[in-house]
Structure formats: C-alpha cells, structure tokens
Amino acid sequence: MSGPADVSLARWLGLLSVATFVVSLVLIPWLIARLPEDYFIWHRRKVEERRQHHPALTILLLFVKNCLGLALLAAGLTMLVLPGQGILTMVLGLSLMDFPGKQRLISWCLKNRKVRDALNWVRKKTGRREFIF
C-alpha cells in the first residue's frame, strides 16, 4: 500500500524532474555558448592568470567554480535517469572543476563523437563558432 510518504516522494521526484529539464534547456546552452571556442584544447590554465588576483579571491573563485561544477555534475548524473541533457551537463560540470586528471577525463569524454557533435550543435544554435577539439 502506498501512504502519504510515497505520494510526497513522488511529488518531489516529479518536481526535481521538471526542474532539471528546465535547467538543462536554459542554463546548459547558455554556459556552453559562454565558453571560448578553444576551451577544450587548453591543457592547463596559466598560473600567471591566477596570480593576478589576491590569494583570498583566488581561493574564493576556485571554491565557487568547483561548487558550480560539482552541482552540474550531480545534475547531469540525475539527468541520466530524468529528462535532460545529462552527458552534456556532466562534461560541462567536469570542465569547470579543478582536480588532478581532469584533462585526461575530459579528453576521454570528448573522444565520443556524439558528445562533440552535441556540444557543437548547441554552439551553432546560439550563433557561436564550433569548439576546437
């Protein structure tokens, strides 16, 4: 028998499904369009770029960027079973985060032609040039 807790859980899952779908339709294309076309060929960010800021600001920006990346990665994982662009969201989340082996993992994800084609399709729809891989 299903009780009130089951109905409440189903409602929350339904709301989560709608929210991830809407976010994937609005936020993910916007973020993909904002990335520079050579984003995926940068193997490491220049250390000098980070040194231009105050050390506390650098740590804060790194923390915010990693939190956003982790949130996108989690949303992408949920979109694998809920409606949305799960793989694209996960690739975008991974690309925002800083961790050892990041470039190898992203390169492995981008070996899949369908992922590259989907990223460039979004770029074309937003009027931006295709990514350089």
Domain ranges within the chain, ordered by starting residue: 4-125
Structural contact between residues 106 and 95, judged by C-beta atoms closer than 8 angstroms = yes
CB atoms within 10 A of CB 97: 18
pLDDT on residue 130: 93
Q: What is the pLDDT of residue 116?
A: 92
Q: Inform me whether the pLDDT recorded for 88 exceeds 60.
A: yes
Taking the whole predicted model, whether its pTM rises above 0.75 is answered as: no
Residue 47 has pLDDT above 50, yes or no: no
Contact 82, 21 (CB under 8 A): yes
Q: Which residues does 125 contact at the CB level (< 8 Å), separation at least 6?
A: 29
pLDDT at 54: 77
Task: Give the integer Cα–Cα distance in Å for 92 and 69.
Answer: 7
Q: Taking the chain, what is the end-to-end CA distance rounded to the nearest angstrom? A: 53
Please tell me what DSSP assigns to residue 84.
Answer: S
Does the pLDDT at position 53 exceed 90? no
pLDDT at 25: 80
